[in-house]
Amino acid sequence: MTEKYIKLAMLSAGLVLGAASYVEAQDLRHCAPRDQVIDRLATKYGETRQSMGLGANNAVMEVFASIESGSWTITVTMANGITCLVASGQSFEELAEALPPKGDDA
Protein backbone atom coordinates (compact mmCIF):
# COMPACT_ATOMS: atom_id res chain seq x y z
CA MET A 1 0.00 0.00 0.00
CA THR A 2 2.83 2.43 0.82
CA GLU A 3 4.40 1.71 -2.58
CA LYS A 4 1.19 2.91 -4.27
CA TYR A 5 1.30 6.18 -2.31
CA ILE A 6 4.95 6.73 -3.21
CA LYS A 7 4.20 6.15 -6.91
CA LEU A 8 1.20 8.47 -6.73
CA ALA A 9 3.26 11.16 -4.99
CA MET A 10 6.02 10.87 -7.60
CA LEU A 11 3.50 11.07 -10.44
CA SER A 12 1.86 14.11 -8.87
CA ALA A 13 5.23 15.82 -8.41
CA GLY A 14 6.08 15.11 -12.04
CA LEU A 15 2.80 16.61 -13.23
CA VAL A 16 3.30 19.74 -11.13
CA LEU A 17 6.86 20.21 -12.40
CA GLY A 18 5.71 19.62 -15.98
CA ALA A 19 2.92 22.17 -15.64
CA ALA A 20 5.33 24.71 -14.13
CA SER A 21 7.74 24.21 -17.03
CA TYR A 22 4.90 24.66 -19.52
CA VAL A 23 3.81 27.93 -17.91
CA GLU A 24 7.42 29.14 -17.84
CA ALA A 25 7.81 28.30 -21.54
CA GLN A 26 4.64 30.26 -22.29
CA ASP A 27 6.08 33.31 -20.50
CA LEU A 28 9.29 33.08 -22.53
CA ARG A 29 7.43 33.36 -25.81
CA HIS A 30 7.75 36.78 -27.35
CA CYS A 31 4.59 37.38 -29.36
CA ALA A 32 2.61 40.48 -30.37
CA PRO A 33 0.53 41.75 -33.28
CA ARG A 34 2.63 41.63 -36.47
CA ASP A 35 2.73 45.39 -37.09
CA GLN A 36 4.17 45.98 -33.60
CA VAL A 37 6.87 43.33 -34.06
CA ILE A 38 7.86 44.61 -37.50
CA ASP A 39 8.01 48.20 -36.25
CA ARG A 40 10.22 47.22 -33.31
CA LEU A 41 12.59 45.20 -35.50
CA ALA A 42 12.93 48.17 -37.86
CA THR A 43 13.28 50.96 -35.32
CA LYS A 44 15.38 49.25 -32.66
CA TYR A 45 17.52 46.92 -34.78
CA GLY A 46 17.32 48.36 -38.32
CA GLU A 47 16.11 44.99 -39.61
CA THR A 48 14.08 44.51 -42.78
CA ARG A 49 12.52 41.38 -44.25
CA GLN A 50 15.07 39.35 -46.21
CA SER A 51 13.08 36.17 -46.95
CA MET A 52 9.85 34.39 -46.14
CA GLY A 53 8.07 31.07 -46.51
CA LEU A 54 4.75 29.37 -45.78
CA GLY A 55 4.68 26.76 -43.04
CA ALA A 56 2.14 24.43 -41.48
CA ASN A 57 -1.33 25.78 -40.66
CA ASN A 58 -0.73 28.80 -42.92
CA ALA A 59 1.95 30.16 -40.61
CA VAL A 60 4.35 32.57 -42.33
CA MET A 61 8.03 32.30 -41.44
CA GLU A 62 10.11 35.41 -42.10
CA VAL A 63 13.77 36.29 -41.72
CA PHE A 64 14.54 39.92 -40.87
CA ALA A 65 18.09 41.24 -40.87
CA SER A 66 20.20 44.36 -40.86
CA ILE A 67 22.90 44.32 -43.52
CA GLU A 68 24.74 47.10 -41.65
CA SER A 69 24.85 45.59 -38.15
CA GLY A 70 24.52 41.91 -39.08
CA SER A 71 21.70 41.30 -36.59
CA TRP A 72 18.95 38.89 -37.67
CA THR A 73 15.59 37.63 -36.37
CA ILE A 74 13.35 34.75 -37.41
CA THR A 75 9.62 35.24 -36.83
CA VAL A 76 6.50 33.14 -37.34
CA THR A 77 3.15 34.82 -37.93
CA MET A 78 0.01 32.77 -37.31
CA ALA A 79 -3.21 33.11 -39.31
CA ASN A 80 -4.65 35.26 -36.50
CA GLY A 81 -1.99 37.96 -37.12
CA ILE A 82 0.09 37.27 -34.01
CA THR A 83 3.83 37.18 -34.66
CA CYS A 84 6.27 35.30 -32.42
CA LEU A 85 10.04 35.70 -32.30
CA VAL A 86 11.63 32.30 -32.85
CA ALA A 87 15.37 33.04 -32.96
CA SER A 88 17.81 35.91 -33.30
CA GLY A 89 21.52 36.45 -33.59
CA GLN A 90 24.44 38.22 -35.24
CA SER A 91 26.65 37.92 -38.33
CA PHE A 92 23.91 37.75 -40.96
CA GLU A 93 25.18 37.23 -44.50
CA GLU A 94 23.16 37.37 -47.69
CA LEU A 95 23.75 34.33 -49.93
CA ALA A 96 22.50 33.27 -53.34
CA GLU A 97 23.93 29.80 -53.82
CA ALA A 98 23.07 27.66 -56.84
CA LEU A 99 22.30 23.96 -56.54
CA PRO A 100 25.21 21.66 -57.49
CA PRO A 101 24.87 19.94 -60.87
CA LYS A 102 22.99 16.62 -60.87
CA GLY A 103 25.28 13.69 -60.20
CA ASP A 104 27.75 15.82 -58.23
CA ASP A 105 28.30 14.27 -54.79
CA ALA A 106 29.21 17.62 -53.26
Interval 69-75 mean pLDDT: 97
Instruction: Name the more confident of 48 and 100.
Output: 48
| 7-42 confidence digits (pLDDT tens) | 434 444 343 334 333 333 444 468 999 999 999 999
Instruction: Name the more confident of 23 and 67.
Output: 67
Query: Which amino acid is present at 29?
Result: R
Terminal C-alpha separation, the chain: 63
**pLDDT value, residue 17:** 37
Give this prediction's pTM. Answer: 0.67
Laid out side by side, the sheet with 82-89 consists of: 30-33, 82-89, 72-77, 60-65, 48-54
**pLDDT value, residue 29:** 61
